[in-house]
Structure 1
Amino acid sequence: MSFLKEMLDKKFEVVLFSSTAIALYGYDQGMMSLINTNVNYLNTMGIAEEDPLVGVIVSVYYLGCAIGAVLASLLADKAGRKPSIFACLAVTSLGNLLMFIVGLGFSRGAMTTMFIGRIVMGLGVGGIDSVIPVYSSELNSDGGRGEAMAKEFQSNIFGLNMAFAINLAVTNLLGKDNEWAWRIPIIAMQVYPVLLLSFIYRLPETPRWFIFHERNDDAKAALTDIYGEKDMHGKYDELVKAHEEESAHSIGYNDMIWPYSEQYHQTMVTIMGQVNQALTGYGAISVYGPQIFELLGIGVSMAEYLTQANYVSYFFLMTFAWLLIDRLGRRLLMVAGAFGISGCFLLLTVLGGLAMNYEQLGIQQKPVGIVGSVILFIATGAFGIGWLTQPWLIPTEIYPSTSRAQGAAISVVIWGLANFAVTLLTPILFNNLKFWFFLVLAITNLFAAWWTFVYCPETGGRTFEENQKFFEDAKEEKSWSVLKIDEGDYRHMPKSEKGGDENGESQPLLGGS
């Protein structure tokens, strides 16, 4: 009975739902890895494996994500978080179906249909990636926001593993020239939106959104559903007070994206978080994993199995992310992660060179490939712990309620554009730079570490209001350097275990048991 009660707990349901929704993003990355090398798929598209259009088909999805994020954030503010999530799931399902039917009974327009399907699915997934972090963050405590979202992004890696495992199984069973070896992994994705759409009715709308739209009775009903009648009134009064403090004026995109605008500083922290995440190179590695192992001298078949093993390791190492993110902070993990990834890529540059020139050097290729594979496993884990969750989490912590959805949308837009560029350029860089591509990533990771250390504040363990105070103090100091503002206090987690006062948004909506 106690287990059943836990299963029916609203906090558990929200985390489970949000985790499954975020897994959609990971599934697409794993799904396209082996589809890109399927002979029947390439013939259906009318392209060769080395054709740049392979990368364009993958990357155009991210443009859809960028547009979907903006549309979903507008809907989330106007109609509510739940209706926006529902609409995004439906659009995702439609896009996935369009991808599945490409070339079924028709040959003309196959590539056009695939492009449309990728864009439509991107609209839905981008919207989900925009709204879910806001929804989850608004329903978790200050000391638990990072852990909750890291668990959700661990599910992202579960989706990645599921997609690649299905791909690998059907490819080995049916062969690379069989059309169902690429159609089955696509249609299997439908399990996510279908399950989520059938479950979403059980979830609460955030009481904070109800209060922001002056639907006070609905807010009380939602709080009663979450806490019960006894604790509802105290939570309600806290949220009303927070709303009154924040709603003195409305905030739109113009107040966020133009230099010297009210929340331009927050927006630049958001933008650079996603840019730096893209610069780590792991968007490309997730999509082109097998090709990277081949670059290290691994055979085609073994490279595919090692890619799956790397994803499994990635999933389990993500446990350290949610164990550490609210204890050590977002900033420390990001800086250490970027330095670690950079060091791994420097080693991979050397090992890649040895693997490609082993005959001239008179060495064996196999040991080089083994060592390189181990280092790539380490680098992937470092990314998961240091960079997978944080750029999505920080935007939900530095904006007030009046602009939190817009801030999350900006985050997804930049993520979409940055990953569009990375996934588009990766095949070209592979073909031209070979192992020197690792050196490029080593340098970009060093940049990410430097920028984060100097300009990204530590947002963990603090209330939403405390994090906004950092940006107010930065205006007074006329500096964005975390090292200079408030004597560098925002370089690390607050000394006390419980940050902030007892007002405003310092109390969770679904925090505690």
Structure 2
Amino acid sequence: MPNPPSRMKDDTSLFPVFSKKHEIVAFSSTAIALYGYDQGMMSLINTNRNYLRTMRIGEESPIVGIIVSVYYLGCAVGSVVASWLADKRGRKPSIFACLATTSFGNILMFISGLSMNGSSPWDGYAIVFMLLGRIVMGLGVGGIDAVIPVYSSELASDGARGRALAQEFQMNIFGLLMAFSINLGVTIGLGKDNQWAWRLPIIIMQIFPVLLMSLISRLPETPRWFMSKERRTDASKALESIYGKQGSKSKLAELEEIQDNESDEKVGYKDMLLPGGSQFHPTMVTIMGQINQALTGYGAVSVYGPQIFELLGFSVRDAEYLTLGNYFFYFGMMTIAWMSIDVLGRRRLMLWGSMGLAGSFALLTLFGGLSYDFPNIPSLAVGIPGSIILYLATAIFGIGWLATVWLIPTEIYPSTARAQGSAISVIVWGLANFTVTLLAPIGFNNLKYWLFLVFAATNTFAGWWTWKYSPESGGRSFEENQEFFISAVDDKSWSVKKVDGGKFLRMPGNDIDTEREPLLRST
């Protein structure tokens, strides 16, 4: 194992002002930023003329969408491999392997069609390397997206898991913002016909995996994983690195009790994916959460933001500036997400988010139609209110749908199935976003503004499904959340309103059973 758990005793932090808990959140947040960086990076690469010539594709070619979307197929496969490794060898070795894979894929993308004079001598093989690089990088990022939520949730408190993960996803938006800012800066400075305007944003991404691989050895493995492998001594040392010797004793006793209750519950993918399996119900909640997040349509908005502002009547450069402003707004609004997710709950935020997004996309259909079909209307009379609605939709998605669907799978499975559940979440996310990002450019080219109306309908469906079938998992221990699925069998219903008298329609009270006090308190 190349990265053994940290064994520092007193001052375990890299910086005096940072506790070990802070380091865990900072590391996990930076890892999650990788996905956001890719979204912001590709949005302007897709419109770089040198890139299109190097790949030998047209600006409106469906291959543009294919290059973007194959990344998500890599994510789907990477999540399975990473979750297996996370259960077999530990969360940390799996994360390290994913970071190395991400770094390698990024290099393949950077060298695709590389030549010093900017004219590709690769005889059509540039696109092969780009596709391969996208897939390999997807393998790494998909694995990170599967394991990091599990890693952080196993080290976070029952009352602060949402806050921790939402803070990590705020860094996801920081990655998106960073990539788009760099991309826009080099595009303005070098022009859309310069190869370095698209290669530099790619290679700068190396900062993330290299930095994280150099720091991962300082972090503890999760004590829950050690206990699942009956490595009590290692679990004790991991707890000591966080709490010190005195504070770790009660936590160890709690984990031993939980492990005794779960030791005989071995769960495989068959139990999760086949009807009648012991974990089929939570798996369907997980799958539909990710499908519904994709159906919100905001994945397409993130990747193809400039094109959407152009549909509202703005010039190419103005659309790029507005997209940058939208990402700044996105990042700021994520503060509300982590402040509210453990107060209002996952379910309520998702319901409000669906209603808000459905209304926003319906209005965008109207403004897009006015801009496209009525050219005599002053462009700003349509573009300004349309942009305000798009900014509002960004905030609604970030608060209601970005972190919630990633958090729920880490809360509703037993320890023996948590990594697999997170992997299934990433698989569905990858396949759903592959479909959306593949079809989005085709939709924009053919349906124009009517695509917004499609998203309004899909958001309505997402809200209905969430209201009907998605339980509230916030504010409860892992074990308490599993009671919902046990009660669903007894009540012969999956409807949240009918299971256990509607107990899981909302979060429980603020009183926390001290016997189930979580591993890490919010700091």
Instruction: Give the TM interval when normalised to the shorter protein.
Output: over 0.9
Q: Residue 383 of structure 1 corresponds to which residue in structure 2?
A: 397
1:63 to 45, 65, 73: 73
Code of the residue aligned with 2:254 in structure 1: it is E
Q: How does 1:244-393 map to 2 (within 5 A)?
A: 244-359=260-375, 362-393=376-407
Please state if 1:412 is matched with 2:412. no
Please state if 1:188 is matched with 2:201. no
For the 8 Å contact 2:110–2:202, the answer to whether it is kept is: yes
Q: Residue 7 of structure 1 corresponds to which residue in structure 2?
A: 17
Deviation at 1:229, TM superposition (A): 1.0
Q: Which of structure 1's runs of 4+ aligned residues deviate more than 3 A?
A: 3-8
Please state if 1:99 is matched with 2:109. yes
Please state if 1:216 is matched with 2:245. no
1:467 to 473, 477, 481: 481
For the 8 Å contact 1:7–1:13, the answer to whether it is kept is: no
Structure 2: distance between partners of 1:338 and 1:297: 26
Q: Residue 83 of structure 1 corresponds to which residue in structure 2?
A: 93
1:54 to 49, 55, 64: 64
Code of the residue aligned with 1:104 in structure 2: it is L
Code of the residue aligned with 1:497 in structure 2: it is N
For the 8 Å contact 1:358–1:364, the answer to whether it is kept is: no
For the 8 Å contact 1:10–1:510, the answer to whether it is kept is: no
Code of the residue aligned with 1:78 in structure 2: it is K
1:225 to 210, 232, 241: 241
Q: How does 1:167-206 map to 2 (within 5 A)?
A: 167-206=183-222
Structure 2: distance between partners of 1:498 and 1:322: 20
Q: Residue 498 of structure 1 corresponds to which residue in structure 2?
A: 511
User: Which 5+ residue runs of structure 2 have no aligned equivalent?
Assistant: 1-10, 116-120
Q: Residue 133 of structure 1 corresponds to which residue in structure 2?
A: 149
Q: How does 1:143-154 map to 2 (within 5 A)?
A: 143-154=159-170
Deviation at 1:6, TM superposition (A): 5.7
Q: RMSD of aligned C-alpha atoms? A: 1.4
Please state if 1:25 is matched with 2:35. yes
Structure 1: distance between partners of 2:269 and 2:68: 29
More off after superposition, 133-142 vs 210-219: 210-219
More off after superposition, 442-451 vs 232-241: 232-241
TM-score (norm 1): 0.97
Structure 2: distance between partners of 1:508 and 1:191: 33
Structure 1: distance between partners of 2:161 and 2:486: 23
Code of the residue aligned with 1:46 in structure 2: it is R
SS class of match (1:7)? coil
Structure 1: distance between partners of 2:208 and 2:216: 12
Please state if 1:443 is matched with 2:460. no
Structure 1: distance between partners of 2:522 and 2:290: 30
Structure 1: distance between partners of 2:18 and 2:308: 43
Q: Deviations over 1:453-473 (max 9, x none)?
A: 110000000111110000000
Q: Residue 7 of structure 2 corresponds to which residue in structure 1?
A: none
Structure 1: distance between partners of 2:355 and 2:307: 24
Structure 1: distance between partners of 2:498 and 2:137: 44
For the 8 Å contact 1:37–1:176, the answer to whether it is kept is: yes
Code of the residue aligned with 1:403 in structure 2: it is A
SS class of match (1:398)? coil
Q: Deviations over 1:264-318 (max 9, x none)?
A: 0000000000000000001111000000000111111100000000000000011
Identity of aligned residues (%): 65
Deviation at 1:363, TM superposition (A): 2.2
Evaluate the alpha carbon distance shift between residue 179 and residue 512 of structure 1 in structure 2; reply closer, same or farther with a 3 A threshold. closer
For the 8 Å contact 2:76–2:426, the answer to whether it is kept is: yes
Q: Deviations over 1:430-488 (max 9, x none)?
A: 11111100000000000000000110000000111110000000011110000111111
Code of the residue aligned with 1:476 in structure 2: it is D
Deviation at 1:225, TM superposition (A): 1.3
Code of the residue aligned with 1:251 in structure 2: it is V
TM-score (norm 2): 0.95
SS class of match (1:126)? helix
User: Which 5+ residue runs of structure 1 have no aligned equivalent?
Assistant: none
For the 8 Å contact 2:295–2:462, the answer to whether it is kept is: yes
For the 8 Å contact 2:160–2:522, the answer to whether it is kept is: no
Structure 2: distance between partners of 1:455 and 1:408: 19
